[in-house]
Amino acid sequence: MGQEGMEKLRGAGWETFDHVADIGVRGIGLTVEEAFENGAKALFSIMVEDLSEVIPRETVPVSCSSYDLTGLFVAWLNELIGVADIREMVFREFTVQINNVSLKGTAKGQRWDQGNISRGIEVKGATFTKAIVEKSNGFYVAQCVVDV
């Protein structure tokens, strides 16, 4: 992705991309933490029809670790999917602190039964397909394909 494409994405901070029968998620940021946060927004934008309808009523702590940054991104998304499923919630806002290959963060959102949120596509899990965390043209990019 060239500088012009990165600058365009920087405005939104995230996007999804097609991948055969699944969907890719990509977060972009000035820091690796911001890229992870935006990757989580891309993930939840699949699960609901309109992410802006989700009200950040509750804050849930989230933590995970892995062997490298790419594995950490996949672990982060899978942890969010698990927490959302167990708590019957959907998230919209995220904070991330990364120390080496450990992550501590928060997810803010609401329970599915607390409003008229239109469900999107069910995401089963994040995979290592097309997974990468790298710095490109001054921006960090964190991406992978999620199984739907």
DSSP summary character for residue 48: B
Q: What is the pLDDT of residues 98-137, one digit of tens each?
A: 999 999 999 999 999 998 899 999 999 999 999 999 999 9
**Is residue 93 helix, strand or coil?**
strand
Q: Does domain 3-147 have CATH number 3.55.10.10?
A: yes
Angle, in degrees to the nearest 10, between helices 32-47 and 69-87: 40
Asked if residue 17 lies in contact with residue 1, where contact means CB atoms within 8 angstroms, the answer is no
Name residue, tokens 């290592």.
128
| pTM of the predicted protein model | 0.89
pLDDT of residue 11: 59
Closest C-alpha among 48, 73, 46 to residue 127 = 73
The residue extents of the domains of the chain are 3-147
DSSP summary character for residue 119: B
- Ordered DSSP codes for 76-89: HHHHHHHHHHHHTE
Q: Which two tokens stand for residue 144?
A: 């992978």
Q: What is the pLDDT of residues 15-46, one digit of tens each?
A: 888 767 799 999 999 999 999 999 999 999 99
Closest C-alpha among 71, 70, 84, 68 to residue 124 = 84
CA atoms within 13 Å, Cβ hemisphere of 26? 20
